[in-house]
Amino acid sequence: MTDAGSALAEDRSEEPAEPERKGKREIWIFYWLFGVFYTALSVGVCLLGRATPPPRPDVTELQAVAWFDKHQMGIQVGFVFLLVIAGGAAISNGIIGYFMKRMSSGKMLAYAYIAAMGVGAIPGFQVLLVCWLTATFRPDRDPDVMYLLYDLGMLSYNGSLGCFTAAYIVVAIAILYDKNRIFPKWFAYVTIWQVVTEVLASQMWLHHSGAFAWNGMITLYIALVVFGLWIVCFLALFRKAAAAETARTPALYELEGTR
Amino acid sequence: MTAPGRDLPATAQSSPPVRERSLPGGVDMWVMVLGDLFFFGCYFVTYMVFRALSVEEFSASQRHLNVGIGVTNTVVLLTSSLFAALAVIAVREGALRNARRLLLATGACGVLFTLLKVYEWHSEISRGHTIHDEFFGFYYVFTGVHLVHLALGLLILGIAVRELHDSRGRRPAIVEQSVLFWHMIDLLWVVIFALLYLMR
């Protein structure tokens, strides 16, 4: 070892032990919260609420009323549960924003992502819950109104694309411009597929059946595969990024007195 | 610390330097290309299934497409791919000015393709062939998504051309990436052309 090297080792041995930051533990907590929220979301939307796979878009008003009657209990239990835990979406968006703020591409993109996803959650999530809960808790209403709630819920849930498209574009740009390699570049390209499937899904407003209806192979099922792949990739990369954070990783924010 | 190579064994000194093997275009872009091909493959299979369910209707609508424009667009894109491949060879040989010209020629072909496609869309829509016809629904979606990819390809080519002005040593890698993406656009178009214009 050189003299300079031994001197450096001595300096290090004399350094006081750095206090452990809580950041890493918080990241792991958010990692598990993210996984739990998306699992709960899948159970609520798919198994109980029956929004995915969706009901047929080419039904009459009486068929729509009969469908609500058949799935009343599942929709009520599943969607009330989702209304209670809806704040989990903010946690999920926040943790992605946290990692985006670690990127060299700038904080503005992180804020843009959080804002776009926050706005998108209203038509893409809350409106579906409110429409279908209204239909199942007020089953005595006019069939035409029930029919409207049926359509409004599904079209809002699957057809509200602008905010999500903007959010995914922002993530892709942030990753491609990032020099800190928080996420690998290929994840930006996976995110671009999300953008493409979101744009394609806009067709569902115009079609009542076929590959481009809201239950279509292209607008829904292939898009679902892409979304599932995106979530799986993100969880794996999230885990890796969380493991890379050590006690020496600087916090994003520190109290004024501790600087 | 030792000077580089001073204490290496004689065998290591005499052997030629080992060239690091790397995937042309980089792993990240290959993920994009292979994934894109997979998802477009899913779209094509979906089209084939729907076509098999209504062969006569699809064939009747298909006859309204202008095969001449389709062939011209295919030739334009294949030519662009030739320019792109020559650009990679040029940049590997260090002929940066030539590489830049070839990439610009590739981009010009992409712009020409876009103009022809916009003209074709305008022509079809003005004759009443809209997405209310199932075949034309697939036609507009496939060619539209392809056009989005082409626009992204033009952007990536632009980044590569800008990189050729730079001296940071990333030239072969960034040009390979852009050309790899461009070849994918070309390949996708060849399949779309065969499916929509030729298959009866």
Interface predicted TM-score (ipTM) of this complex, two decimals: 0.80
Terminal-residue alpha carbon distance, chain B: 72
In a domain, A168, yes or no: yes
Q: Which residues contact A40 (CB under 8 A, 6 or more apart)?
A: A81, A82, A85, A88
Tell me if chain B has a CB within 8 Å of the CB of A126.
Answer: no
Q: Which domain holds residue A157?
A: 19-248
Amino acid at A239: R
In a domain, A100, yes or no: yes
Cα–Cα distance between A103 and A113 in angstroms, integer? Answer: 13
In a domain, A166, yes or no: yes
The count of domains in chain A is: 1
Nearest by CB to residue B28, choosing from A184, A193, A207, is: A184
3-state SS track over A177-234: HCCCCCCCHHHHHHHHHHHHHHHHHHHHHCCCCCCCCCCCHHHHHHHHHHHHHHHHHH
Task: Please say whether the beta carbons of A133 and A79 come within 8 A.
Answer: yes
Map out the domains of chain B with their CATH numbers: 64-198 (1.20.120.80)
Task: Please say whether the beta carbons of A105 and A173 come within 8 A.
Answer: yes
Residue B164: phi and psi, rounded to 5, are -70, -15
Distance of CA A255 to the CA centre of its chain: 30
In a domain, A259, yes or no: no
Write out residues 197-226 of A within 8 Å (CB-CB) of B: 199-200, 203, 206-207, 210-212, 217-218, 222, 225-226
**How many residue pairs from chains A and B have C-beta atoms closer than 8 A?**
57
pLDDT in single tens digits along all 200 residues of chain B: 334 444 444 444 445 555 566 778 788 999 999 999 999 999 999 999 999 999 999 999 999 999 999 999 999 999 999 999 999 999 989 888 999 999 999 999 999 999 999 999 999 999 999 988 999 999 999 999 999 999 999 999 999 998 888 766 567 888 999 999 999 999 999 999 999 999 87
Q: Say which DSSP state A51 is in.
A: -
In a domain, A10, yes or no: no
Supply the Cα-derived Rg of chain B in whole angstroms. Answer: 22
Q: Distance from B103 to chain A by nearest Cα, in Å?
A: 21
The model's pTM:
0.82
Tell me if chain A has a CB within 8 Å of the CB of B158.
Answer: no
The alpha carbon dihedral of A81, A162, A207, B51 has a sign of: negative
